[in-house]
Amino acid sequence: MIKEINGQNHGALNQSASYHVAGFWIRFGAFLIDLAVIAMSGKILLIVIWPAGLESNMVQSFITINAFFVGAWGAAYLIIMTALWGQTLGKMLLGLRVIQTDGNRPSWQTAVVRELIGRPLSQLFGSNLGYIICAFHPRKQAVHDLISDTYVVYETEPQRGKWVQLASPSENRAG
């Protein structure tokens, strides 16, 4: 059960927790940082795994191998970081974290659904419309958040912005 809270009254009620949800631009910044981390670490891993270089048709091999490898590495990075810490490096640097609707860090299952099913739908064949929805959604959720029942929230409590109140697990069962 989710209750939206606007204005100054955002304290916890009935063992519920209130979180300040992150908007589009801060999430976009975290995503850009993550893309840089994925690209740089992917390149390093590719060199470690394939030290001899690429085969005869250098350009074609580079595009094929690098695109597949970075995509697979990127998905693994996002799943592992989200499941283990609830944050990627980009989110850590900007003070954000991913939570489930019960306020806990995403489970492995939730992280896999969020990153392998939800994120490709957010990217929607390169259009990224699923991310842009976050800017207009009342709870600042992108498509991958809606599919996986997650929120991206601030770790600290800024005084302005959109807040959501998450009911405690006992309230969810009762309602």
Residue type for position 155 = E
Instruction: Report the SS3 class of residue 104.
Output: coil
Find, among 32, 174, 6, the residue nearest to 89 by Cα: 32
Find, among 111, 145, 113, the residue nearest to 130 by Cα: 145
The residues near 152 (Cβ < 8 Å, ≥ 6 apart) are 21, 22, 27, 91, 96, 97, 98, 140, 145
Distance CA 141, CA 148 (A): 10
DSSP one-letter string for 118-170? IHHHHHGGGT-HHHHHHHHSTT---HHHHHHTEEEEESS--SSS-EEEEPPHH
Find, among 88, 108, 89, the residue nearest to 98 by Cα: 88
**Within 13 A of 81's CA, how many CA atoms are on the CB side?**
19
The share of the chain scoring above pLDDT 90, in percent, equals: 45
Q: Determine if the pTM surpasses 0.85.
A: no
Distance CA 93, CA 27 (A): 11
pLDDT digits (tens, 9 = 90+) for 88-127: 999 999 999 999 999 999 999 999 999 999 988 888 867 8
Instruction: Report the SS3 class of residue 13.
Output: coil
The share of the chain scoring above pLDDT 70, in percent, equals: 69
pLDDT digits (tens, 9 = 90+) for 44-75: 877 777 666 555 566 556 666 666 777 888 99
pLDDT digits (tens, 9 = 90+) for 10-19: 333 335 678 8
